[in-house]
Amino acid sequence: MPKSLVIHPEDEMRLHLRTLGRPEEALFCEYMQTGFAVYAMIHEVVRRLGRQLEQVDSLLDFASGYGRVVRFLLDDLPATRVTVSDIYADAVRFQTEEFGVHGVVSKAEPDGLDLGGPHDLITCNSLFSHLPEPLFRSWLIKLAAALRDDGLLLFTTHGPHLFDGHFAGDFAFVPSSESRSLDVQTYGSAYVTMAHVERLVQELLPGRKLVASLARAANGHQDVYVVGPASMATITDADLSLPRVFVDGMVQQGDLVKFWGWAFSQVDGRAVRRLRAFVDHQEVPLATITGAERPDLLDHFPNASQQAGFEASFDLAQWMSRRVFALQAEDDHGLRARIFHHLPF
């Protein structure tokens, strides 16, 4: 579980989910679940490039918002090795106070901004998906300049598949976004082809190259790119579809909580056998039975194993306060998904 389960009331992702009509409990769970999914993707991409997130000496989470992703990155890294940066000073302040990380308040344009470093890894989730091309170029140069020589820059973009209408050319920008306060001329919605991102990296970042170009790898939505040293081997066709996991029901029997559901790998459809559960900030020991028959899943997920069902139980300790429950599924490919619930008792 993350070190903190607190969401800042002004977090723009939280407010966006509220505009979609999510009730508070569902909003909390979706916020946490998608934050974990981005973290899990980062962890796996870094691993497949031959690095270990736990061994990163300096990580910068740029355009970090109010910490939707960084709270999970802290499962692998001490706060002293992590710096966050965002254009909202309140967002940076919240993260430095809540998580204990270092903080840098960003600006609308990169000139004169000191990002510290050099950093081993810079993550930038859903900023380049909002920039007009001149700023796309200048921020790409700025972030790459804050890397060590062998460092990695991971960022996401909107691909052409997300463009509403006919997509012509390599880059499109629409002056519209979910932000309530940022200028839509500099923070709108951008769409770019993979070929164009590769050309920009070749043109703007001598000595570096794209070492990963992964379509829709961020929550099945945005494209993911990693810039690394020119000598590094590349990955271009990695299926990072996270497992599907669902809790059908949960009951309390005295001090014992029993729950049941299903989990399977989206890569090969196999049932997930490795389950971990957390309540509040603590992992709880699970008694599990996996491999239960679930032929009903085939109506919705034809690739799923019929043995994807599970039953599990854990002791409900007296110290549990917030009663936030999370269930994590890890498939045979090392891919992880985590879902969140409030305990109903």
The domain that holds 178 is classified in CATH as 3.40.50.150
In this prediction, what percent of the chain has a pLDDT beyond 70? 97
Sequence-distant (6+) residues with CB within 8 A of 226 are: 45, 49, 152, 153, 154, 210, 211, 212
Structural domains in the chain (count): 2
Residue 175 has pLDDT above 90, yes or no: no
HSE-CB of 54 using CA atoms within 13 angstroms: 2
Q: Are 55 and 179 in a shared domain?
A: yes
Q: Are 98 and 218 in a shared domain?
A: yes
Give the CATH number of the domain where residue 283 resides.
2.60.40
User: Model-level pTM?
Assistant: 0.93
Q: Are 184 and 306 in a shared domain?
A: no
**What strands lie across the sheet with 256-264, from one edge to the other?**
244-253, 256-264, 309-315, 287-292
8 Å CB contact between 144 and 60: no
Q: How far is the first Cα of the chain from the last one, in angstroms, to the nearest whole number?
A: 20
Q: Are 101 and 206 in a shared domain?
A: yes
pLDDT at 192: 97
pLDDT at 303: 93
Q: Are 100 and 164 in a shared domain?
A: yes
Residue 2 — pLDDT band, cuts 50, 70, 90? low
Q: Which of 33-37, 176-180, 340-344 has the highest mean pLDDT?
A: 33-37
Is 219 contained in some domain?
A: yes
Q: Are 224 and 248 in a shared domain?
A: no
Q: Are 205 and 168 in a shared domain?
A: yes
Q: Are 219 and 251 in a shared domain?
A: no
Residue 244 — pLDDT band, cuts 50, 70, 90? very high
Is 110 contained in some domain?
A: yes
Q: Are 88 and 129 in a shared domain?
A: yes
Q: Are 217 and 256 in a shared domain?
A: no
Is 335 contained in some domain?
A: yes
Domain containing 337 equals 244-342
User: What's the Cα-to-Cα distance from 121 to each of 34, 115, 226, rounded to whole Å?
Assistant: 21, 12, 10
Residue 320 has pLDDT above 70, yes or no: no
Is 6 contained in some domain?
A: no
Choose the final residue of a domain: 171, 200, 229. 229
Q: Are 257 and 168 in a shared domain?
A: no
In this predicted structure, which of 46-50, 57-61, 94-98, 160-164 has the lowest mean pLDDT?
Answer: 160-164
Is 237 contained in some domain?
A: no
pLDDT at 3: 65
Tell me: the pLDDT tens digits for 268-313? 999 999 999 999 878 999 999 999 999 999 999 999 999 999 999 9
Tell me: the pLDDT tens digits for 103-161? 999 999 999 999 998 999 999 999 999 999 999 999 999 999 999 999 999 999 999 99
In this predicted structure, which of 62-71, 126-135, 175-184, 266-275 has the lowest mean pLDDT?
Answer: 175-184
